[in-house]
Amino acid sequence: MDFKEGEILYFNKPLKWTSFALVAKVRYHISRRLGVKKIKVGHAGTLDPLATGVMVVCTGKATKRIEEFQYHTKEYIATLRLGATTPSFDLEKEIDATYPVSHITREKVEAVLKTFLGRIEQVPPMFSACKIDGKRAYDLARSGKEVELKPKTLVIDEIDLLEYDLPVIKIRVVCSKGTYIRALARDIGQALHSGAHLIALQRTRVGDIDLGQCMEVDDFEEWLSKQEIQESVNE
């Protein structure tokens, strides 16, 4: 393998890890294996710490392909709790409001999900990496400042109800770059005249890359030790 010329690796990001932490771990092991101080390593598409699943990591000159991977269609399995909201739209923050769910039926959920198919406008979450005047929205939100984000256009190709066990539902979403599943959970809750937040999220596919092709981070060091490394990298 030639990590300087560029390799593309697929990982299953663990729960509670940041995307940055995964990249740092991969960079550390590659640098150590090659005997170099540093090497370019980057990821294509951030996953929140509370999300798991497919993470594409590029090394060396392959980091030029990151944008290409970011534009690939992505598939998620999302678990939502209806009838309650949080400021972060997931479990990062405590529940701040509760709503009735007795009027919600499986048929209503399925009908509402269909309304999100196709091109939609979505306001990103306050707790997101979107920039406002050069500052990350989540930094402003966490410091208690009001954050106003503009809607973004995105595409939902597929959305299906997988499980219905009120107040919890599980859905599958196939969507374009820039889709915030946390924001989708918020919008689904509102469309059901209730509230909702994300309690679990797994990215199951990026383009043609699925979970079955992904390596566990804990296995990477051992895997790397068994690879044949190109001499040109050892500078």
Given a contact cutoff of 8 angstroms between Cβ atoms, the answer to whether 215 and 10 are in contact is yes
In this structure, what DSSP letter does residue 97 have? E
Q: Is 48 a catalytic residue?
A: yes
- What's the rounded Cα separation, in Å, for the pair 15 and 201? 10
- What's the rounded Cα separation, in Å, for the pair 101 and 192? 9
Torsions phi, psi for 41 (to 5 deg): -145, 135
Of 2, 48, 133, 210, catalytic? 48
Whole-angstrom CA distances from 70 to 42, 110, 164 are 12, 29, 31
What is the widest separation between alpha-carbon atoms in the chain?
66
Torsions phi, psi for 216 (to 5 deg): -80, 140
**CB neighbours (10 Å) of residue 186?**
23
- Tokens 């949080």, residue? 86
**Which of the residues are catalytic?**
48
